[in-house]
Structure 1
Amino acid sequence: MPELPEVETTLLGIKPHLLYQTIQDITVRQYQLRWPIPQDIHLSLQGQKIQSLSRRGKYLLIETTDGTVIIHLGMSGRLSLVAPDTLPGKHDHIDLHLSNALWLRYTDPRRFGAFLWSKTQPIAQHPLLCKLGPEPFDPQFTGDYLWQRAQNRSMAIKTFIMNHHIVVGVGNIYATEALFTTGIHPATPAKFIPAAQMDHLVPVIQDILKRAITQGGTTLKDFLGSDGKPGYFNLKLQVYGRAGLACFHCKTLIQKLNIGQRTSSFCPVCQPSSDPACAYLCD
């Protein structure tokens, strides 16, 4: 699944080509995504001038004269820029025709993504956006903020930092890596993480996400950047996807467990568990 760095990488790739362009038309080949696309969406988009592009969590926002295109890449979606004569593939569902003779192509094999048009103003009040937590790079996202939100929370710390009502964009890969770097067992109840450790965790999350963005996101089999090239951050992953292999730091075998219906990798030596509740949460 494309996570925050992948979405940010996509935004950085398409922004120079879309900003201040006019949407001349839209071609929709598949109307049934996560939410159905209106059959008359072309009437809303034709002639709209793109005024800004941004990201909120994993949502890409293309703000135009009269509204906003909201795009979510779902499990396997991606955006690419193509020439108008580029033949569509089986899973190329949408083309935005731009005034600079480029098309923004939305591809989504699993169709769990979304392509929406909204006239909500400001767009931050849209139902999909209004309850999201702060961005990981916002000044509001501090160790004290995280510690305060964790009080009386029995959920595993990994589940806690992946909750988009707490902070957006910290997906499975990056949560796994951040907890390893800070030496926190992923199944530790959030309320048991001391304030000092939260102070350490926040800049680690930020650093890992920044490095992933710089390196083009994490290569997953379904993800390609807007230029069609995969990222390479996975070459430097410490524990994610490495269960059964030796820890780079202590040579202990990386273990895995299920937390919140997700597989989590961790090093039992570098991330020791001091709480009996972890044994209950682990397989």
Structure 2
Amino acid sequence: MPELPEVETVKRTLNTLVAGKTIERVTVSLPRIVRRPEDPALFAALLEGQTIRNIERSGKFLRFNLDGWVIVSHLRMEGRYGLYASDEPVEKHTHVIFHFTDGTELRYRDVRQFGTMDLLSSGSEFAGAPLHKLGLEPLSPEFTADALGAKLAGKKTKIKPLLLNQEVVAGIGNIYVDETLFRAGIHPERAANSLTREERERLHRCIVDILTEAVAAGGSSVKSYVNGQGESGSFQDQHRIYGRKGQPCHNCGTPIERTVVGGRGTHYCPECQKPGEGGTGA
């Protein structure tokens, strides 16, 4: 599933490709992609004549800001957007097409069919689902060590599933939690309330640093992810822990282990991330 760096990259790409374009009509070939309004014909009708002003991101969601509406889109496992000329063949698994007045089309393709779109009136998008419960935005000025500490305070939950909870920190998924905890020297099964202030500050710093580095690299193309221009990310080449089971740790040489924490496959170094204590970071 695309995480914050991948969605941020898609957002930036789409702003380059489609901001300022006006929608002539919309084709919805898989109705369940559109959750609101429930009638896909109404979804299409409301979008006729609307201009895409810009695209923003909230956690793992894209927000297409139009004249009076906002499309909130979640890519889920394999959703992707691409800009095409109207005479180009439509690929299989293309479920929604935004036809623009200039003869181009923004096409949404989703092999797994898990993606979603919600059309909401401008100004109401944060009042209800799916955005109203999102937690701290980790690349915003509001994401401070103290703000993160307040979210962790009193929580006996293991630190990894807590960081995966989108109501705590928005946008971080399995890849970047593993990478962050490794760099911070924190075992993924540590109780959140057992972290010292120094560890919380280091964790905060590592979250920001890794996400910033991943965005700069265009995200991680571990499976099928590409941006709006069909380009892969390269941050997977910088992974120090994720997907490296049995390989030597870059810091100490100890073989990396894989376990399951909170129902998610988890990679960690048993030497650099010892239970009950924090390491020195990496």
TM over 0.5: yes
Unaligned runs of 5+ in 2: 278-282
CA distance, structure 2, for counterparts of residue 87 and residue 257 of structure 1:
44
Give the corresponding residue for 2:213: 211
Amino acid paired to 2:18: L
Q: Which of 173, 186, 190 is matched with 1:184 structurally?
A: 186
Q: Greater shift after overlay, 234-243 or 83-92?
A: 83-92
Q: Greater shift after overlay, 200-209 or 183-192?
A: 200-209
Q: Greater shift after overlay, 138-147 or 55-64?
A: 138-147
Q: For each residue in 1:19-67, what CA deviation from the matched residue of structure 2 results, as whole angstroms up to 9, or x when unmatched?
A: 2221111112211238476231221110012223201111111111121
CA distance, structure 1, for counterparts of residue 14 and residue 142 of structure 2:
28
Q: Which of 160, 163, 168 is matched with 2:162 structurally?
A: 160
CA distance, structure 2, for counterparts of residue 103 and residue 120 of structure 1:
23
Q: Does the CA contact (< 8 Å) of 2:34 and 2:118 recur in 1?
A: no
Give the corresponding residue for 2:79: 77
**SS of equivalent residue, structure 1 residue 10:** helix
Amino acid paired to 2:144: T
Amino acid paired to 1:55: R
Q: Does the CA contact (< 8 Å) of 2:81 and 2:228 recur in 1?
A: yes
Alignment pair present for 1:11 and 2:11: yes
Q: Which of 139, 143, 146 is matched with 1:144 structurally?
A: 146
Q: Greater shift after overlay, 21-30 or 173-182?
A: 21-30
Amino acid paired to 2:52: I
- Correspondences of 1:106-255 after superposition (within 5 Å): 106-119=108-121, 121-255=123-257
CA distance, structure 2, for counterparts of residue 29 and residue 122 of structure 1:
27
Q: For each residue in 1:117-168, what CA deviation from the matched residue of structure 2 results, as whole angstroms up to 9, or x when unmatched?
A: 1125232223211111121022221222222221221111111112111110
CA distance, structure 1, for counterparts of residue 90 and residue 225 of structure 2:
18
CA distance, structure 2, for counterparts of residue 99 and residue 196 of structure 1:
55
Give the TM-score, by structure 2 length.
0.93
Give the corresponding residue for 2:39: 38
Q: What number of residue pairs does the alignment pair up? A: 275
Amino acid paired to 1:107: R
Q: Does the CA contact (< 8 Å) of 1:154 and 1:191 recur in 2?
A: yes
With over 3 angstroms needed to count, the CA separation of the structure-2 counterparts of 1:186 and 1:34, relative to structure 1, is farther
Give the corresponding residue for 1:104: 106
Amino acid paired to 2:19: L
Tell me the percent identity.
Answer: 34
**Post-superposition shift, 1:106?**
0.6
Give the TM-score, by structure 1 length.
0.93
**SS of equivalent residue, structure 1 residue 212:** helix
CA distance, structure 1, for counterparts of residue 16 and residue 153 of structure 2:
43
CA distance, structure 2, for counterparts of residue 252 and residue 117 of structure 1:
50
Give the corresponding residue for 2:70: 68
RMSD: 1.5
Alignment pair present for 1:25 and 2:25: yes
**SS of equivalent residue, structure 1 residue 12:** helix
**SS of equivalent residue, structure 1 residue 272:** coil
CA distance, structure 2, for counterparts of residue 224 and residue 139 of structure 1:
28
**SS of equivalent residue, structure 2 residue 21:** coil
**SS of equivalent residue, structure 2 residue 131:** coil
CA distance, structure 1, for counterparts of residue 39 and residue 142 of structure 2:
37
Unaligned runs of 5+ in 1: 276-283
